Amino acid sequence: MDVDAEPAEPKGPPQPCEHLWFPDGNVVLATDSLLFKVHKGVLALQSSVFKDMFELPGAHGLGPSQGQGTDVIVSELYEGLPLVTLVGDDGDEVVHLLRTAYEREYYQPYEDDASLDTVVSLLKLSTKYDFKQIRKDVVFHISRYYPMDLKECDEIEENSTIFGLPRARCHDVLLDAAFVAEVDVLLPILYYACADYQIGSILNAMDEESINRKCLRTLLEGREKLEGMIVQLVATIPEIALAGSALTSTVCTSSDGINCLRVQRFTGLKTLTGTASLQRIIGINVCRYLPPATCISCRAAVESLVEKKREEIWDAVPSYFGFPDGGWDALKTKLDEFFAS
Ligand SMILES: [Zn+2]
């Protein structure tokens, strides 16, 4: 016997949640840790799962039965009220869901102060219990931070924070939550964000089983394709520039009269590889690898040719991550339809 092992925390019965214990409540929800005395009408108004459950025939308007399609057990009374056990749900996560359902100020998708825990709890539970409006709000909130637009992605500060954490700490957590909650429309942009992780971080997520295996597989496959396309682009930059010189031969402003793109030599381009982020190979960055003597016109020509290639890769990103049809435009349309539904 391992004498150093911590004794298991004795687990008492679930306790009433102080924020969600309404004296006039008419149903008690239970998790392993917390009890919530709330109102059937408030839940039924927002959630089709609770609405269906409360419409089941039986004593107190709740049957001695299982809720349809979810892991709830309705079989007991708590101080004379029907008791609904939410099997497998974490008490603190249910607090986020119910406070959002009750308190107008608790969660606001247009503000920036919600925590990652709150957002992930809301996404999972609003999906499980079909709180339609809360689910839409959360998807909208996440989509604000993950634009499906190359220029908007370019403007994102890599070190900025979202949901109270550095951006990079949120990508994988949100990807897994969106995958589990079947918010397919957000997956390509979240896969794209995660593709920038070092392989070690992705393998750690695999060891910790913090990302669904199927999701992880799509991430690794897509990441490989994307990196390959970026390597290919970087490797062909000198050719792109040479092609550019044909286009710009009339506009080169080099003082010695020699078209600079015909004589230029790029140096250090390899530092632009080893990434799955299109933000690293933005045209203006690539121009830093041109010799200083290159004239402004030729630099501009290289920049615009690289940008064109970069946009071509960007357009194909959804197809690398399992969404072959329609690209970003189709996804944006789907997202709009979801908000309008
Ligand atoms: Zn020039």
Q: How far is the CA of 290 from the centre of ligand 1 (A)?
A: 11
Regarding pTM above 0.75, the answer is: yes
Q: How far is the CA of 285 from the centre of ligand 1 (A)?
A: 18
Q: How far is the CA of 272 from the centre of ligand 1 (A)?
A: 23
Residue type, 262: R
**Yes or no: domain 15-102 corresponds to CATH 3.30.710.10:** yes
Q: Please write the tens of the pLDDT for every residue from 114-164.
A: 999 999 999 999 999 999 999 999 999 999 999 999 999 999 998 899 999
Section 14-38 average pLDDT:
96
Q: How far is the CA of 297 from the centre of ligand 1 (A)?
A: 6
Find the helix packing angle between 116-128 and 132-145, rounded to 10°: 140
Count of Cβ atoms closer than 10 Å to residue 284 Cβ: 13
Q: How far is the CA of 253 from the centre of ligand 1 (A)?
A: 5
Structure confidence at residue 56 (pLDDT)? 78
Q: What is the mean pLDDT of the chain?
A: 89
Q: How far is the CA of 241 from the centre of ligand 1 (A)?
A: 11
Q: How far is the CA of 246 from the centre of ligand 1 (A)?
A: 11
Structure confidence at residue 256 (pLDDT)? 72
Residue type, 146: Y
Number of H helices, E strands in the chain: 15, 8
Measured between alpha carbons, how far is residue 304 from residues 236, 301, 311 in Å? Answer: 14, 5, 10
> Which DSSP letter does residue 315 get?
H
Secondary structure (3-state) at 35: strand
Q: How far is the CA of 257 from the centre of ligand 1 (A)?
A: 9
Q: Where are the domains of the chain?
A: 15-102, 116-224, 231-319
Q: How far is the CA of 281 from the centre of ligand 1 (A)?
A: 21
Q: How far is the CA of 260 from the centre of ligand 1 (A)?
A: 4
Structure confidence at residue 123 (pLDDT)? 98
Residue type, 341: S
Structure confidence at residue 1 (pLDDT)? 41
